[in-house]
Amino acid sequence: MEFDGSVLIRCTDATKMSKFVFGPHKGAKHKLRMTLHCQKCYVVLGDSFDICGEIKYMDSIMCLRVTDDVAVNDAMERRQKGEMSDCIYSLLNCRGCQSSVGRVIHSAPARLGAVRSIFLLSKADISCYILNSSSMVDASTLKFDVKSLKDSISEVKKQFEEHQDRMSRLKIRLANMNL
């Protein structure tokens, strides 16, 4: 949807979103800021500050936190087969319309350790209100990739080394000034 001043109209032009990038990508002109909504009743379920990536094979957005309008189902489920085999998880429901919006994994084998206790919102059930463009789009049309931790660490390391170089040069200049 797009806000035209009075009503929200659905945004169908996917290319409009191409100039936006989610996450801390270097060189990105705009970072995508958004709120996550239930696709059926548009209740707010989360926002981009708490998104920490996506799991493609589960078609889910990973969130550190969600709003109180996400209810964690009391019943725990266990899957025997597929990607989530040996996982114990609870389904997440929207409090606005009771529809299923994802799951939270309580216990998982080591291969899925990264998603333990992370809220996984199903992209198929989520709409995103993009603050940058004031438009509503289906989550399935967006990518929620964030840089891998390794990339982030090497970037910080590089910045630290550059800073250290500058400090050494400054130290030499000060020493040469014979203060």
Q: Which residues bind Zn ion (CB under 5 A)?
A: 38, 40-41, 43, 94, 96-97
Least distance to Zn ion, CB of residue 36, Å:
11
Q: By C-beta, is 59 or 69 nearer to Zn ion?
A: 69
Least distance to Zn ion, CB of residue 38, Å:
3
One-letter amino acid identity for 71? Answer: A
Show Cβ contacts of residue 77 under 8 Å, excluding neighbours closer than 6 positions: 88, 89, 90, 91
Q: By C-beta, is 14 or 97 nearer to Zn ion?
A: 97
Query: In whole angstroms, what separates CA 114 from the centre of its chain?
Result: 14
Least distance to Zn ion, CB of residue 70, Å:
10
Residue 126 has which token pair? 């989520």
Between CA 173 and CA 179, with CA 175 as vertex, the angle to 5 degrees is 110
